[in-house]
Structure 1
Amino acid sequence: MRTRLAIAALSVLLVATGCGSGASGSSDDRPQVVTAFYPLQFLTQRIGGDQVAITDLTKPGAEPHDVELNPRQVGTISDADLVVYLKGFQPAVDQAVGQEAGDKGFDVGSTVELLAAAESHEHGGEEEGEHAEGGKDPHVWLDPVRFATITDQLGDRLAQADPAHATDHRARAAALHAELDKLNEEYAARLKTCERREIVTSHTAFAYLAARYDLHEVGITGISPEAEASPQRLADVAKEAKETGATTIFFETLVSPKVAETIAKEVGARTAVLDPIEGKTDPNADYFTMMRANLTALTEALGCTS
């Protein structure tokens, strides 16, 4: 009899322990939020704070455009309380969200007006718009004003997913919005008066930044950083760089600088990093430090005096 009672008690304990671990096997009872890549992870962490548990689908230092998901990551999407992504940027994430997330998916691109890819690279040729779904440019986080709007909407979605801390989420979103407003003011002031307004970049990721601050982007390749520029395109970029007096050819952190270095050598310019902030390679950096580093690089390259 005692043996039967002991077995029964052990069974109850095992069942209770299993239930407490949750569907994903985690004992963390905070809302589970999945983010698709770094800028969205940054927003979610700043707004949710320690009151949410965040899993990011793109490893630090990885190129996010063509991320592939393993079965465990797909399961994480299925178990999440909220999935924060940008439709059209990462096809594998779009597919998993469509199949597993249901109404828990939050497409940040649905909250702001996205630029058409054709607007972002007027010399892009046949590669134009092929990467972004519907011909939209996904690099919206490089415009602090649009990013602030996304911040407000994400604050509301986190409040819905975690009503016990709704006030906290909305308050942090408001504070982050104010920081983004300040960043926008810094950009506008420092880029107001410059000798040049053309920026030559390795791939056309900076259309939102250029549109916001009255710059003209000359991209060596189009929306996709993996696209290869034709010899004619390279010649055209070199010619335009010479004509506009470009002193700097920009390359980015997650893509080889070789093409940018070739053009820089031809036109007698230097190279420098302009970070599209699609991923993070420096663990001590964040969105704001990277955006301000970009601002410094731009003011030096463009001869700004403000």
Structure 2
Amino acid sequence: MRIPILLSLVLVAGLGSCNQGEEAAQDKMLAVAEMMEAPGPSYAPPISSSNNVPISAAPAANRKLVYHAKVRVKVDDLPRANQHMDSLTRALGAYVQEASEEREDGQWRHERKIRVAPARFQTLLGGLGRLGIVEFKQLSTDDVTTQHADVTARLASKQALEQRYLELLKKANKVSDMLEIEEKVGEIREEVESTQSRLRILNDEVAYSTITLTYYQELSQRRPDAPVLSFGSRLLASFYSGWELLTNLMLGLVAAWPLLLLLTAGIVALQAWRRRRARQPK
């Protein structure tokens, strides 16, 4: 029994360097190892790889479709629109995955990411038209049938491969062999969990369609009325205005001192020239 087990461990070690695309070869080699351990002339049939199994085209009724919609609506009363959306989502069994609200650029905006069953997708879209004026609407459909089938097949293949390694682990006798197989099982377990996560995301997208709704209300820009000032207040304001004017004038004169100096020098020179001219005999 030890020779077949050693042979199987050698095969497993050779498989450790293979990438994900070589899962078919791994399955076949594991099957050969199990066949060598079986008593008598019996043999294990060849294991078919999921990569070689053709995926038949699913009928229209069984296709995996993902629906998306983006809608923008202008409303007159945003709080009332919120109440309408709350009632509409409850009535259709939908739920709000994300919501945000902001006021900027003269608008009061509310955004919701709504998830609803595909059978009620169009009904919910029709109800959005009652909020106000629909300014934008974009619909899209993604067919993920092939992707879903591929992820499902890869998950089944990885789980089967993991199970075979676990069976080899039960038959291993050496500690080194056990550690090597356990390391490989850990790698496959990570791949299985990653594939399961991807499959859950696909199933969620198929089970619930997504509507990204933005509705907003224009905010009126009102200016406050100017207060009526009394005579005393206006007199005090005039005094401050006069004082500010005088201050600005003084600052202007100080800033213009070079010009004033040149002007003074010019006047003095002109007067001196006139005096000398007046003293000259005619």
State TM-score, norm by structure 1. 0.20
State TM-score, norm by structure 2. 0.21
Bigger strand share: 2
Larger radius of gyration: 2
The structure, 1 or 2, with the larger RCO (C-alpha pairs under 8 Å, 6+ apart) is 2
Bigger helix share: 2
